[in-house]
Amino acid sequence: EQQSKGRGRLGRAWESPKGTGVWMSIIVRPNIPPYQAPQLTLLTAVAIVQAIQKVTHLQPEIKWPNDVLINGKKIVGILTELQAEADVIQAIIIGIGINVNTKQFPEELKEKATSLYLENNGQEVERAALIRAIFQQFEQLYENYLKHGFKPIKLLWESYNVSIGKYISAKTLSEEIKGFAKGITDEGVLLVEDDYGNVHEIYSADIDIFSSRY
């Protein structure tokens, strides 16, 4: 019903007012090498997009690596944490925050965040139905992933993605890279071609999308 210390990437605060959203975690224990764990973030984003489409008929989009947007505003955050030894995964904890029936946001978030309620013409969405749809879609995708690998998920993810082909800024902990998002690798790593034709592999970054190159 509520998080008292909701957080996102890089320890940022996540607003989770009581009774308005979905704040939950899914724990999985896949038999995959630890370096493939980030693929589960992308899989989860696909599951959530499909679930929102089923429940509301809205058309969300995915911004790499862990945001789901509607009309350019953030509606879902996904935070994946890994418990592992050097080469063995103990568990992957997928934290999910969804703004469902939030009717208003603090002034500093109004231009960045939205909710299903606000995008659905002021109609409340049944949270239990949304959670059920997420679990159904996640289970189907996860079983497919374990059988056939990431490639089928990658194709779905790319079909929902908003940043491929766009001029973006990728801010990592150490640098900022500007260029065109070329797609993702089979491991889920973002490829960015800079202004000099160099292609960078981005494993973790904050992404800003620009309407033009300059």
Closest alpha carbon to 96 in 112, 114, 80: 80
Phi, psi of 143 (to 5 degrees): -65, -40
Q: State yes or no: pLDDT of 157 exceeds 90.
A: yes
Residue 135 has a CB neighbour count (10 Å cut-off) of 14
Condensed to tens digits (0 to 9), the pLDDT of residues 19-71 reads 899 999 999 999 999 989 999 999 999 999 999 999 999 999 999 888 999 99
**In the block, which residue shows the tokens 């957080």?**
7
In whole angstroms, what is the distance from residue 145 CA to residue 92 CA? 15
Condensed to tens digits (0 to 9), the pLDDT of residues 94-129 reads 999 999 999 998 888 889 999 999 999 999 999 999
The verdict on whether omega for the bond into residue 30 sits within 30 degrees of 0, i.e. cis, is no
The tokens of 72 are what? 């350019």
Condensed to tens digits (0 to 9), the pLDDT of residues 161-175 reads 998 999 999 998 889
